[in-house]
């Protein structure tokens, strides 16, 4: 990697020694992000998607350390404080068997930060910001393809290599079984009109809906930044194709979060007179509205809700979290726990990232977690360009999802990815007082040695 020392071709006026410029930091490569995000279907088929994610984070961290002189995005400090509180909450874990799922969740939180820093630096040091979005767009194409797998082969399931390699006691843990034994869909036997709901590459269909809503602004931003190219056309084709599997997830919060995100985007566009953004919002709404003519989403959701206890189960879990956190408000309980005081079949401290953080890690951790999203929302709301304004609604979408969807998994990384590119774009738009180029232009008098 070219790390040269620049020497002045002439001595300074004072006759002193030659001026030596500081060594330039090497540019970060994009290939680790492409392997991490672009090959998600492969990691899913291997049963390693969730388990390998923190390992990729470790690779990115190593590259950042080797590079050195890493500028950190805004609000990094608040996330580091959140990580410290999560680590402290491990002292509250009920048993050693809880360490593995705790470690995976912590690994995902750390990986999200590392990916965010890596993407932020990568986007800052390149003239073409669209290049930073290529990995997340590759993930999107994989998400759409696996969504259609759920539509066309809803009963698909696979005993994966990772499932066979893990010790029986580990692979048999309910949480671990969900991660390493892959299925294309989730199926509700209680619904009046039972339907297979696309989930892959995630174990739960809510994660699919959450990831879809977060990635959609990134995909639209890329198509605005790039006016030509195979990837752009592939994404334009994938956008309408993505609606069928997304709608068939029947994720109410996915629709709500996208609705709020598009509303915020439309209001900002109207206030700033940005016709391009306004037209793109109308286009998305029209395509979505036409899709509802083919897929009776509202009827399917109503029949599912009316014939199940999904709402009452959620509220009973939330009430139990509030009751129990009063006994351990500072560090929580380390992880969700199974109790016999609620009718839901899932542990207390699930069914929403807000409740997971509150119950598992305590009130201070929750405040830090929410503060990060609020701060970055305000920071990138200043975006003026059309792509920047689309990316700026990623944390808005997340804030709507947090009370209802879990993010202690790779989906939190998607949020960080979109926010990181948005921050780099906002700094670029701010001009000389914004981002400082990672590779400053050398003086005309300087020569590489």
Output the pLDDT for position 314.
80
pLDDT of residue 401: 97
**Taking residues 211-222, what's their average pLDDT?**
97
Judged against a pLDDT cut of 80, whether residue 265 lies above it is answered with yes
Give the CA dihedral 38, 206, 303, 322, nearest 10 degrees.
-170
Cβ proximity of 150 and 185 under 8 Å: yes
Reported as type and span, the H/E element at residue 448 is strand 446-448
Please, what's the b/e burial string for 7-46 (b: 16 or more CB within 10 A of its CB; e: otherwise)? Answer: eeeeeeeeeeeeeeeeebbeebebebbebbbbbbbebbbb
Per the model's pLDDT, the better-predicted residue between 312 and 101 turns out to be 101
Model confidence over 16-63: pLDDT tens digits? 444 333 446 778 999 999 999 999 999 999 999 999 999 999 999 999
In terms of average pLDDT, the best of 192-196, 228-232, 277-281 is 228-232
Q: pLDDT band at residue 266, thresholds of 50, 70 and 90?
A: very high
**What integer pLDDT is reported at residue 237 of this predicted model?**
95
Residue 175 is predicted with a pLDDT of 81
**433 within 8 A of 396, measured Cβ to Cβ:** no
pLDDT at residue 14 in the model: 42
pLDDT of residue 289: 81
Parse the chain into domains and list their residue ranges. Answer: 27-434
The span from the CA of 160 to the CA of 181, in Å, is: 6
Q: Are strands 181-183 and 196-198 parallel, antiparallel or unpaired?
A: unpaired
Say if residues 55 and 35 touch (Cβ distance below 8 Å).
no
CB 423 within 8 A of CB 431: no
Which pLDDT does position 19 carry in this prediction? 37
* 318-322-328-330 Cα dihedral, nearest 10 degrees: 90
Percent of the chain with pLDDT over 90: 65
Place of tokens 């979060």: 257
Confidence class of residue 7 from pLDDT cuts 50, 70 and 90? Answer: very low
Check residue 191 and give its pLDDT. 54
Tally Cβ neighbours within 10 Å of residue 271: 8
pLDDT in tens, 413-434: 999 999 999 999 999 998 765 4
Contact between residue 43 and residue 142 where contact means Cβ atoms under 8 Å apart: no
pLDDT in tens, 365-386: 999 999 999 999 999 999 999 9
Tokens coding 297: 């989403």
In sequence order, which ranges of 352-393 are alpha helices (DSSP H)?
353-361, 363-380, 386-391
Please tell me which residue, 304 or 443, carries the higher pLDDT value.
304
Looking at residue 21, its pLDDT comes to 37
pLDDT band at residue 296 using 50, 70 and 90 as cut-offs: low
Q: Per-residue pLDDT for 3 more than 50?
A: no
Provide mean pLDDT across the span 203-211. Answer: 95
pLDDT at 446: 34
Q: Which three-class secondary structure state does DSSP give residue 187?
A: strand
Say if residue 449's pLDDT is above 60. no
pLDDT in tens, 155-201: 999 999 999 998 877 777 788 889 999 999 998 665 555 688 999 99
Round to whole Å and give the CA distance between 283 and 81.
41
Higher pLDDT, 100 or 183: 183
Q: How many residues does the chain have?
A: 449
Residue 30 is predicted with a pLDDT of: 96
Q: Is the pLDDT score of 306 beyond 60?
A: no
* Nearest alpha carbon to residue 252 among 383, 401, 433: 401
Task: Tell me the mean pLDDT in the region 63-88.
Answer: 96
What are 241-250's pLDDT values in tens digits? 999 999 999 8
Percent of the chain past pLDDT 70, that is, above it, reads: 84
Q: What is the pLDDT of residue 195?
A: 81
As a whole number, the mean pLDDT across the chain is 86
Neighbours of 263 (CB within 10 A): 13
Alpha-carbon span 266 to 257, nearest angstrom: 14
């Amino acid at each position: 990697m070219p790390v040269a020392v620049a020497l002045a071709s002439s001595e300074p006026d004072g006759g002193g020694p030659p001026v030596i410029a500081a060594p330039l930091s090497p540019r970060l490569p994009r290939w680790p992000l492409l392997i991490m995000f672009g090959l998600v279907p492969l990691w899913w088929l291997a049963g390693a998607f969730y388990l390998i994610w923190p390992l990729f984070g470790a690779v990115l961290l190593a590259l950042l350390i080797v590079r050195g002189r890493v500028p950190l995005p805004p609000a990094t400090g608040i996330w580091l404080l959140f990580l410290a509180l999560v680590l402290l909450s491990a002292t509250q874990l009920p048993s050693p068997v809880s360490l593995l799922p705790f470690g995976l969740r912590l690994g995902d939180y750390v990986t999200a930060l590392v990916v965010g820093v890596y993407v932020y630096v990568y986007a800052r040091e390149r003239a073409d910001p669209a290049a930073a979005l290529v990995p997340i767009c590759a993930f999107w194409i994989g998400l759409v393809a696996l969504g259609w797998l759920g539509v066309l082969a809803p009963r698909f399931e696979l005993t994966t290599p990772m499932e066979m390699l893990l010790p029986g006691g580990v692979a048999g843990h309910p949480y671990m079984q969900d991660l390493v034994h892959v299925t294309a869909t989730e199926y509700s036997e209680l619904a009046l009109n039972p339907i297979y709901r696309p989930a892959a590459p995630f174990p739960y269909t809510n994660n699919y809906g959450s990831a879809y809503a977060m990635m959609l602004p990134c995909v639209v931003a890329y198509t605005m930044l790039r006016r030509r190219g195979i990837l752009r056309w592939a994404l334009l084709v994938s956008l309408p194709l993505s609606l069928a599997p997304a709608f068939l997830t029947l994720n109410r919060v996915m629709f709500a979060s996208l609705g709020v995100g598009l509303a915020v985007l439309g209001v900002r566009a109207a206030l700033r007179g940005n016709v391009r953004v306004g037209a793109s919002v109308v286009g998305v709404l029209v395509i979505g509205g036409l899709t509802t003519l083919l897929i009776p989403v509202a009827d399917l959701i109503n029949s599912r809700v009316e014939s199940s206890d999904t709402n009452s189960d959620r509220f009973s879990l939330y009430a139990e979290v509030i009751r129990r956190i009063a006994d351990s408000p500072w560090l929580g309980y380390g992880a969700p726990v199974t109790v016999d005081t609620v009718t839901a079949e899932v542990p207390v401290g699930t069914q929403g990232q807000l409740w997971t953080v509150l119950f598992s890690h305590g009130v201070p951790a929750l405040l830090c977690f929410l503060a990060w999203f609020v701060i970055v929302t305000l920071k990138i709301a200043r975006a003026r360009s059309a792509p920047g304004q689309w990316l700026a609604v990623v944390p808005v979408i997340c804030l709507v999802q947090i009370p209802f969807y879990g993010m202690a998994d790779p989906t939190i990384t998607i949020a960080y990815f979109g926010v990181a590119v948005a921050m780099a774009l906002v700094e670029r738009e701010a001009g000389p007082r914004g981002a400082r180029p990672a590779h400053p232009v050398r003086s005309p008098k300087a020569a590489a040695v």
